[in-house]
């Protein structure tokens, strides 16, 4: 990873993530250009101003604040509850796709949505499990962005769980160690 002059080691080490080179490079470049060399300067500069910095979008700004363990500003407005309701509706709508057949618009891959995932960077994905092949053998599934999927309107092949009273292991005391 390219080292940007001026950034202190704490900031550089916190943001250097080999699995996210795009966010790392953009974050380090923007902080270096803005002469935001320390965690304190970044916090003082603020999340909202960082969003307006060239080459920084919401995902990269969130990445910076998350990796540096800085507090995000809490919006204070009457719209906040509506945002929570909107998120809840989107999550519920996504969970409602469980058990439905879907097709990837790009590759044509078809299968049943057997799992959905929500990640820190706003990506919502679904695991498609294809039906068995002509010999009855199971095939490998794959993760796809929900935006790429055409989800069938018909009923799910299996009713999705309600996620209420999810069964788990019985509460028993651990056996003594030998």
Q: What is the pLDDT of residue 38?
A: 78
Return the structure tokens found at 160.
Answer: 């999705």
Query: What is the secondary structure of the chain as a DSSP string?
Result: -PPPTT--HHHHHHH--TT-HHHHHHHHHHHHHTT--SHHHHHHH-HHHHHTSTT--HHHHHHHHHHTTPPPPPP-STTHHHHHHHHHHHHHHHHTTTT-EEEETTT--EEEEEEEEE-TTS-EEEEEEPPP-TTS-----EEEEGGGEEE-SSPPSSPPP--SS-------PPPPP-
**Tally of CB atoms within 10 A around 4:** 18
Query: Does the global pTM surpass 0.85?
Result: no
Evaluate if residue 159 carries a pLDDT over 90.
no
Per CATH, which fold does 93-151 belong to? SH3 type barrels. (2.30.30)
8 Å CB contact between 148 and 104: yes
Mean pLDDT of 48-62: 72
Evaluate if residue 30 carries a pLDDT over 50.
yes
Q: Which residue has the higher pLDDT, 112 or 51?
A: 112
Q: What is the pLDDT of residue 39?
A: 78
Mean pLDDT of 7-30: 69
- Tens-place pLDDT, residues 80-137: 444 455 566 577 788 888 999 999 999 999 999 999 998 877 788 999 999 998 999 9
Euclidean distance between CA atoms 105 and 136, whole angstroms: 26
Q: What is the pLDDT of residue 77?
A: 43
Mean pLDDT of 18-31: 68
Highest mean pLDDT out of 14-18, 121-125, 148-152, 163-167: 148-152
- Sequence ranges of the domains in the chain: 9-67, 93-151
Q: What is the CA radius of gyration of the chain?
A: 22
């Amino acid at each position: 990873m390219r080292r940007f002059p001026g950034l202190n080691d704490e900031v550089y080490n916190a943001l250097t993530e080999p699995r996210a080179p795009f966010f790392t490079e953009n974050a380090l470049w923007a902080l270096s250009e803005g002469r935001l060399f320390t965690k304190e300067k970044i916090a003082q500069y603020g999340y909202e101003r960082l969003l307006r910095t060239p080459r920084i979008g919401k995902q990269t700004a969130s990445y910076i604040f998350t990796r540096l363990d800085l507090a995000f500003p809490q919006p204070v407005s009457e719209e906040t509850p509506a945002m929570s309701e909107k998120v809840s509706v989107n999550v519920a709508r996504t969970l409602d796709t469980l058990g439905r057949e879907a097709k990837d618009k790009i590759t044509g891959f078809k299968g049943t949505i057997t799992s959905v995932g929500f990640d820190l960077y706003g990506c919502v994905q679904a695991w498609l499990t294809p039906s068995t092949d002509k010999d009855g053998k199971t095939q490998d599934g794959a993760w796809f962005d929900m935006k790429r999927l055409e989800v069938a309107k018909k009923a799910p092949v299996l009713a999705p769980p309600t996620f209420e009273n999810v069964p788990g292991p019985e509460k028993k005391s651990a056996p003594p160690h030998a």
